[in-house]
C-alpha cells in the first residue's frame, strides 16, 4: 500500500552531512530519511531540482522503505573510487579512502580549471589505480571533448568518458569522432523523459544509472533489461547518497544479470561522517545488505529546524504529485 504522507514522515529525520571536499559545488549534503515496514529509505534530490523531478527521488525512498529490495543475484558489488576536481597533489591522500579500488572515476571539465589540470589529475590517479574513467558532467563542447579525450589518453587508456557534453546530439558527434574512448551517458538518461533516446540515437556505449532519479531499484532493473536489447551495459552510480541511499544502489546493482564495470557506489568516503558505520570495501567491492542508521549519528547529524521544515514541505509537494500517478508497484 502506498503510504499516506503522515505515515511517510512519522519517523522521518532530516540530516546535514559535512563533506571532506567540495563536490557538485556543495560542502554539506542534506537528506531526508524515512522508515517503513521494509526498513529505511532516502529522499535527497539536489536542491535545484523541481518538484516533478524530485518526486521520482521520493518514490525511490518509499520503495526502499515500504517494499524493500528486489531479489539479489550477487552478495557484493565492485565499486570505483571517486576523485573530485582536486589538485593532482591531493590525489594520493584522497585515494586512501578507497581501499582496494581497481577503478577510479575522475571529475574533469570543472569551471575555472584547465585541461592541463585535468590531465595532471588523471595521470596522478593512473599511478595508483589501473582502470580510470572520467566524468565531465556535460561541461565540454564537442570540439573541447574531442581535444580533451585525445589529450587525456596520450599517457594511457580510459575505460570510458561519462557525459562529455550536455546534449544527445553532441554525444553522438563525440562518439562518431573516433577518439577511441567509450562514451557513457548519465544526465542524458536520468534527466530525460525518454531514457532510451540517447542510445537509440547512437550517443552512448555505456549507461550510467542512478536509483533515485529513476524512481527506485526496480526501475533500474527494468531499464537495464531494455538497454541490454541495444547491447549497452549499465553502471549503477551514486547520487551522493548517504549509507541508506547507497544500500539501495547496491541492491539494484546486485539484482542485475550482468555487471561488467565497477559501479559508482563508493562515495561514502566523501563524507566526514555518515548515518551508519558500514563495512569497508574488500578487494574493491562493497557488501550488499540493509543499513540501519545509528541513532546517535542521526541526532548528531540532524539538520537545523528551518532546513527540516524545508525538506518536509518539499516531500509533501512531491508526495502529492506521486498520489496523482499510476504507480504499478503499489496499490
- pLDDT for 304-321, tens place per residue? 999 999 999 999 999 999
Q: Does the pLDDT of residue 331 top 70, yes or no?
A: no
331 compared with 184, residue with greater pLDDT: 184
Which pLDDT value is given to residue 23?
A: 81
C-alpha dist (Å) from residue 159 to 105, 114, 176, 256, 319: 9, 22, 17, 20, 39
**Rounded to an integer, what distance in angstroms lies between the CA atom of residue 155 and that of residue 116?**
13
Give yes or no for a contact between 121 and 108, defined as CB atoms under 8 angstroms apart: yes
Give yes or no for a contact between 259 and 231, defined as CB atoms under 8 angstroms apart: no
User: pLDDT of 26-80, one tens digit each?
Assistant: 899 999 999 999 999 999 999 999 999 999 999 999 999 999 999 999 999 999 9
Rg of the Cα atoms in the chain: 19
**Rounded to an integer, what distance in angstroms lies between the CA atom of residue 129 and that of residue 124?**
9
Identify the band that residue 226 occupies on the pLDDT scale cut at 50, 70 and 90.
very high
**Rounded to an integer, what distance in angstroms lies between the CA atom of residue 81 and that of residue 94?**
9
Which pLDDT value is given to residue 281?
A: 84
Task: Name the grid cell of 167.
Answer: 546534449
Q: Does the pLDDT of residue 112 top 90, yes or no?
A: yes
Q: Is 170 annotated as a binding residue?
A: no
**Rounded to an integer, what distance in angstroms lies between the CA atom of residue 206 and that of residue 328?**
28
Please identify every residue annotated as catalytic: 107, 210
Q: Does the pLDDT of residue 182 top 90, yes or no?
A: yes
Exposure pattern of 123-135 as b/e (b: 16+ CB <10 Å)?
bbbbebbebbbbb
Query: What 3-state DSSP class applies to 200?
Result: helix
Average pLDDT over residues 139-144: 98
Q: Is 186 annotated as a binding residue?
A: yes
Which pLDDT value is given to residue 276?
A: 95
What percentage of residues in the chain have a pLDDT greater than 90? 88
Q: Which of 80, 82, 78 is nearest to 21 (CA)?
A: 82
18 compared with 269, residue with greater pLDDT: 18
Q: Is 241 annotated as a binding residue?
A: no
Q: Does the pLDDT of residue 163 top 90, yes or no?
A: yes
Question: Which domains can be identified in the chain, with CATH numbers?
Answer: 5-68+294-323 (3.30.390.10), 76-287 (3.20.20.120)
Task: Name the grid cell of 227.
Answer: 538497454
Amino acid at each position: 500500500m502506498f503510504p499516506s504522507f503522515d505515515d511517510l514522515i512519522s519517523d522521518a529525520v532530516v540530516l546535514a552531512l559535512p563533506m571532506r571536499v567540495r563536490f557538485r559545488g556543495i560542502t554539506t549534503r542534506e537528506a531526508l530519511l524515512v522508515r517503513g515496514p521494509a526498513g529505511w529509505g532516502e529522499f535527497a534530490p539536489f536542491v535545484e531540482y523541481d518538484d516533478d523531478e524530485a518526486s521520482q527521488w521520493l518514490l525511490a525512498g518509499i520503495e526502499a522503505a515500504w517494499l524493500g529490495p528486489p531479489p539479489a543475484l550477487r552478495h557484493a558489488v565492485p565499486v570505483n573510487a571517486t576523485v573530485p576536481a582536486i589538485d593532482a597533489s591531493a590525489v594520493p591522500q584522497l585515494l586512501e579512502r578507497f581501499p582496494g579500488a581497481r577503478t577510479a572515476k575522475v571529475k574533469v571539465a570543472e569551471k575555472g580549471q584547465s585541461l592541463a589540470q585535468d590531465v595532471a589529475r588523471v595521470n596522478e590517479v593512473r599511478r595508483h589505480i589501473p582502470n580510470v574513467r572520467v566524468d565531465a558532467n556535460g561541461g565540454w563542447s564537442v570540439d573541447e571533448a574531442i581535444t580533451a579525450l585525445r589529450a587525456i589518453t596520450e599517457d594511457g587508456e580510459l575505460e570510458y568518458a561519462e557525459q562529455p557534453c550536455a546534449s544527445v546530439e553532441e554525444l553522438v558527434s563525440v562518439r562518431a569522432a573516433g577518439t577511441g574512448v567509450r562514451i557513457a551517458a548519465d544526465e542524458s538518461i536520468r534527466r530525460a523523459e525518454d531514457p532510451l533516446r540517447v542510445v537509440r540515437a547512437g550517443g552512448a556505449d555505456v549507461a550510467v544509472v542512478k536509483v533515485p532519479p529513476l524512481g527506485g531499484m526496480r526501475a533500474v532493473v527494468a531499464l537495464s533489461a531494455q538497454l541490454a536489447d541495444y547491447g549497452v551495459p549499465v553502471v549503477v552510480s551514486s547520487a551522493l547518497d548517504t549509507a541508506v541511499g547507497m544500500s539501495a544502489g547496491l541492491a539494484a546493482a546486485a539484482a542485475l544479470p550482468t555487471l561488467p564495470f565497477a559501479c559508482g557506489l563508493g562515495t561514502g568516503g566523501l563524507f566526514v561522517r555518515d548515518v551508519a558505520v558500514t563495512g569497508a570495501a574488500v578487494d574493491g567491492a562493497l557488501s550488499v545488505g540493509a543499513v540501519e542508521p545509528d541513532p546517535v549519528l542521526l541526532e548528531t547529524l540532524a539538520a537545523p529546524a528551518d532546513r527540516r521544515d524545508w525538506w518536509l514541505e518539499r516531500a509533501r509537494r512531491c508526495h502529492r504529485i506521486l498520489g496523482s500517478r499510476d504507480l504499478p508497484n503499489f496499490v
